[in-house]
Each structure stands twice: as structure tokens, then as C-alpha cells.
Amino acid sequence: MTRTKAGSLGSIAGIVVLTATIPLLFVVYSSLQLSASKWAGLWSSRLPELMGNTLSLALVVVVLCLILAVPSAWLTARRDFAGRKVAIWLLVLPLTIPTYVFAHIYTVLLEPTGWLGELWQLVAGDGALINLYGLGGAAVMLSLATFSYVFLLAYTSLVDSRRSLEEAARIHGASKWQVFLRVTLPLIRPALAAGLIVVVLHTLSDFGAVSMLRYQTFTLSIYLQMSGRFDYQAAAGLSLILVSMSLVFLVLERFFRRQQRYFAGAQTRFISRKRASIQETLVIWAWLGLVSLFAFVIPVSWMLAWSYEALVQDVIDAKFWGYALNTGLVSFTAATVAVVVALPLGLYHTRVRTWLSNLYIQLSSIGFVLPGPVVALGVITFVIAVLPNFYGGFAALIMALVVRFLPLAIQSQEAALQQLTPSVEQAGRIHGAGPLENLWRVILPMIRNGMVTAWVLVFIDVLKELPATLMLRPVGFDTLPIRIWIEASEEMLELAAPAALLLVVGTLPALWIMMRSHAVRR
């Protein structure tokens, strides 16, 4: 019985994985057509530099994200202070701002005539400029845009961890610092790994920020090969190397997450937060305020200022609301489909845990590690060849977006599925529930939070998605990110700003649902 059930679940999971690997198949197929001499040319001329650039960017972003996220998560999870919930919101909200919007806003603000540029000249003297182009700038922009993933997962994990282990360590004479390093940190290690892998994958596949800041990574180079020279084969070759690099990171992440199923007895208590004194509160807010100032307050102030300009100039018309509606429609559909198709995959893996299920999970991550334009190209090629009637419609776009963000859904669902202790499921079955009833009445309610998180994360990412939407949207179907891209590239700031602002506002309900479902509740 169990065997056959896992079998049917396995075949559904297999179909999902097969669909998710379409872009990879496309990449492999195209790079096979690349001649040996062209490979050699790529290898000698570009690869060392690209690899160096891409890896150093990923490394710097990881370090910056840890610096931004871990102290913030610990403070908000373990200390009770005035405005704690506001702080949590402020630290999650940067998720709603796309990387290219960050890059755009900060380049404008740091110009000699921008708010920050003028301020900096007051501090550092006339003519002093902060140059955002290159590694430093790109890393800071990507960190500001993505550290919230690490924060969110670290915070949740810190709040969820039980008191008993840390108390036991204290009783046995460990100092506070030792407890943090040897108990707390290992406990949140899986969450940090999960958060960081999302950050790394975002970094590797980022197109918007690096192209605005002219930092040559694999993704940017792939894009230039495709668009500048129409050289799909070289682009595919580079993509293949990028995928291999990403797989290394994914395996690393799995390694850090191994043997982390940890089942707490129901009677253990959650950690209670220590009340912060007034001085402590000030220090805490100084840190959290600094982080959220750059990650959220400044960008949003800029959006508000230019949106006001747009309002005054009366440029927000019916078309603008049409773009907003399109964006919502695409994001809602893609997130829902992604969560639904991710479920059998996650369930299957949690159940059987074989090399095959492991392979499934790794393979389904492909969409996330390939650059958006390549995913889009793969899907276009597949759809035209196999399902020509779908082409040009909404379905092909949704398919590409789901393929692209499936890993996000799987990651968050899987984390939740792992909390599903075998005993609970067994209890359900003992009490006579069939597999379906068990799914509906036991599993789904228990992993509801994970599903909601998955849905919201995909929703937010689709909302901000640019390259795949650019290539695959139905004719005449524009979304807000596309309008931001088009208007910002022509310096029509008063047109780009309201779109960016609406993205932030549009994400709020989704974030609220997610936060209510677990994080802020405790």
C-alpha cells in the first residue's frame, strides 16, 4: 500500500520535475552544438574573469546578508522592546523592492545632485562621489534586496526553537556566547543555509542590478551573448557552467541541512523574550533603524517623492492601472500553480528520501539557477515545438514563471513538511483516516504555514520578475516591472516611481498573510 502510494506520488513528482528541467535540456542541447574551438575560445577569453566576478559577488553578498540579517533576527526574536513588530515589518519589507529598482534608486540618489550625493559631498568634501558601479555597489544592492530572506528564516527558526536545549546548556555551565555558538547557531543553521541559498541563487541569476551597474557576471554575459550577438550556443555554454556552479552551492546547502530533523516534545516551552531596558532598546533601534533606513526607508521615500511628482503631472492613467492588474493576475496565477505542483514533489521527498527523490529536488531547482532570459528561451523553444497552440498566450508565460520559481515553493514547503513528525501522520492513519483524508485533515493543516510562505515568496518574486516576462508576455500585455524597466531606461522617473511604489503596496497583503501565519504571531 505505502509502496504503491509513493509510486503514484513519485510519478506525479516525476512529471513536475520533467517540466522543470525543460530549460536545462534546452541549454544542454544548444551547448552540444557548440564546437570545441568555440568552447576553447570561451574558456580562455571570458571564463576565468566571469567565474571570479560571479563567485566574489556571491561571497560578498552572503557575508553582507549575514551581517544584516543575523543580529537583526536575534534581537527581534530574543528581546522584547518597543516597536518590535514594526521592526520585523521593516526588515521584511525590502523583499518587495526589485534589485534593479534598488540599483536605479541608489545610482540616482548618489549622483552629485542626488540627495545622498549632496550629503556625501558635505561629509567628504566637494566633488567626492560614491561610485556604485562594480563589485561593491552590486553586492550592496543585492544584499539590501535579499537579506530579508535570511532574516525571515533565521527569525522564524529562533522563535520556533525550544527552551530546553539552551537551558540545558546553560545549566551545564556554558557561557551565553558559548550557548549562542554551540547551541543556537547550530539550531538555526538549516534556516541560515536555506536563506542563504535563496540569496545566492538570486545573486547568480540576477539580471536587473548587475546590468544596471555594469558588473560582468555570468548572467549578464549570457544576456549580452544572446542579445548583442544572437549567439545562443555561447549563451547556452555559459549557462551550463553557471548551472554547474549553482549545483555546487545547492549540494553545499543540502550538506549544511543534513541530519537536522529534530523533533521536539510537545510539552517543551518556547523561549520567552527578555525585556530590553531603555538603553538596550535605543541600541537595538539604532542598529535596526540603520538597516531599514537603507533597505527600505530611503528607497520608499524616493518612490513617494517621484510618485507625488507623477500625481502632480497627472501621468497616472487607466493604462497604469491596467499594468497593475496584469501584474497581480500573473503573480497570483503563477504562485498558486507553483505551490500546487510543488506539493507532490515535497511530499514525495519527505516520504521516501531516496537518491531519486533527492535528484528530483535538485533538478527542480534548475529554473532558479538559470538566468531568466535562458529559462524563457527554453520554454519558448519547447512550447513552439511541442505545444504550438499555447504559444503567445498567458499559459506559456505562467509555465516559464512557475519553472523559474518552483524551487522557492519547494524549499519553503519542504521546511514545513519536515516539521511534520512521522508520529502525527501515523496517528492520523491509525485513527482510520485514508491517505486523502490524512492529506486534507492532517498534513495540509500542519504545513499550512509552509504553503502560505511558499505562495507568498513565489508571489513576490513573480511580481518583481523581469527578463522572462519581457520575453514571454502575450503581445500588448505589460506588467509593472516592465513599465519600470522601460520608463527608467529613459529616465522617466515620474513614471517608474509609481509603478515601483505600487509593487511595494501590492505585496503588503501577501506579506501580511504570511506574517500572520507564523512569524509575528509569537
Partner 1 sequence: MSNKTNLLTGLGRSLLAMTLIVGSAATWAAEELVIYSGRKDKFVEPVVEKFTEQTGIKVILHSGESTALLNKMQIEGPRTQADLYLSNDAGNLQKGTEMGLFMRLPGSLVNEVPANLRAADNTWIGLSARARVLVVSKNAKDLDWVKSIFDLADPRLKDRLAITHSANESYIAGVTVYMEAVGDAKTKTWLEGMKVNVDGEVFNKHSKIVAAVANGQKDIGLVNHYYIYRHLAKEPDAPIEIRLPDQDGMGVAWNVAGVAVSKHSKKKNSAQKFVEFVVSAEGQKIFAEANNEYPVVLGIAAAPEVPAAGSYKIADVPMVKLGERRDETIDLIESVGMP
Least Cβ distance, residue 112 to partner 1 (angstroms): 6
Tell me: does residue 317 bind partner 1 (CB under 8 A): no
Spatial CB neighbours of 271, under 8 Å, sequence gap ≥ 6: 77, 78, 158, 159, 161, 162, 163, 166
Cell numbers standing for residue 256: 549544511
Tell me: does residue 41 bind partner 1 (CB under 8 A): no
d(CA 36, CA 26): 19
> Which 257-296 residues touch partner 1, going by CB under 8 A?
none
The CA–CA distances, whole Å, from 20 to 379, 384, 451 equal 10, 17, 19
Nearer to partner 1, 199 or 334 (CB): 334
Nearer to partner 1, 187 or 377 (CB): 377
Query: Which value, in Å, is the radius of gyration of the alpha carbons in the chain?
Result: 23
Contact 2, 333 (CB under 8 A): no
| Three-state secondary structure string covering 53-116 | HHHHHHHHHHHHHHHHHHHHHHHHHHEECCCHHHHHHHHHHHHHCCHHHHHHHHHHHHCCCCHH
Tell me: does residue 462 bind partner 1 (CB under 8 A): no
Among 492, 505, 513, 520, binds partner 1 (CB under 8 A): 492
Tell me: does residue 398 bind partner 1 (CB under 8 A): yes
Report the 10 Å Cβ neighbour count for 435.
16
* Collapsed DSSP state (helix, strand, coil) of residue 465: coil
Question: What are the φ and ψ backbone dihedral angles of 275, each rounded to 5 degrees?
Answer: -70, 130
Among 396, 460, 463, 500, binds partner 1 (CB under 8 A): 396
Least Cβ distance, residue 451 to partner 1 (angstroms): 15
Among 74, 256, 287, 390, binds partner 1 (CB under 8 A): 390
Nearer to partner 1, 383 or 519 (CB): 383
The CA–CA distances, whole Å, from 200 to 21, 99, 135, 253 equal 20, 13, 15, 10
Contact pattern for partner 1 over residues 123 through 152, marking x by CB under 8 A: ------x-x-x-------------------
Nearer to partner 1, 467 or 506 (CB): 467
Among 424, 435, 517, 520, binds partner 1 (CB under 8 A): 435
C-alpha closest to that of 511 among 70, 62, 160, 90: 90
Nearer to partner 1, 256 or 390 (CB): 390
Tell me: does residue 332 bind partner 1 (CB under 8 A): no
Residue environment code for 175-190, b if the CB has 16+ CB neighbours within 10 A, otherwise e: eeeebeeebbeebbeb
Report the 10 Å Cβ neighbour count for 156.
21
Tell me: does residue 470 bind partner 1 (CB under 8 A): yes
Nearer to partner 1, 283 or 492 (CB): 492
d(CA 450, CA 345): 14
Among 125, 265, 388, 445, binds partner 1 (CB under 8 A): 388
Among 39, 55, 83, 111, binds partner 1 (CB under 8 A): 111
Contact pattern for partner 1 over residues 219 through 258, marking x by CB under 8 A: -----x-xxxxx----------------------------
Least Cβ distance, residue 341 to partner 1 (angstroms): 9
d(CA 319, CA 334): 22
Among 125, 436, 445, 521, binds partner 1 (CB under 8 A): 436
Spatial CB neighbours of 408, under 8 Å, sequence gap ≥ 6: 198, 338, 368, 454, 457, 458, 461
Residues binding partner 1: number (CB under 8 A):
57
Nearer to partner 1, 176 or 214 (CB): 214
* Collapsed DSSP state (helix, strand, coil) of residue 476: coil
Least Cβ distance, residue 159 to partner 1 (angstroms): 33
d(CA 76, CA 85): 8
d(CA 177, CA 69): 18
Tell me: does residue 212 bind partner 1 (CB under 8 A): yes
Among 395, 424, 446, 513, binds partner 1 (CB under 8 A): 395
Spatial CB neighbours of 124, under 8 Å, sequence gap ≥ 6: none
Cell numbers standing for residue 133: 558601479
Contact 196, 150 (CB under 8 A): yes
Among 181, 384, 427, 444, binds partner 1 (CB under 8 A): 384
Tell me: does residue 490 bind partner 1 (CB under 8 A): yes
Tell me: does residue 318 bind partner 1 (CB under 8 A): no
Tell me: does residue 394 bind partner 1 (CB under 8 A): yes
159-167, 174-182, 208-216, 263-271 -> range binding partner 1 (CB under 8 A)? 208-216
Residues of this chain that interact with partner 1 (CB under 8 A) are: 1, 4-5, 8-9, 12, 107, 111-113, 129, 131, 133, 212-214, 224, 226-230, 337, 340, 344, 373, 377, 380-381, 384, 388-396, 398, 434-436, 439, 470-471, 474-478, 482, 486, 489-492
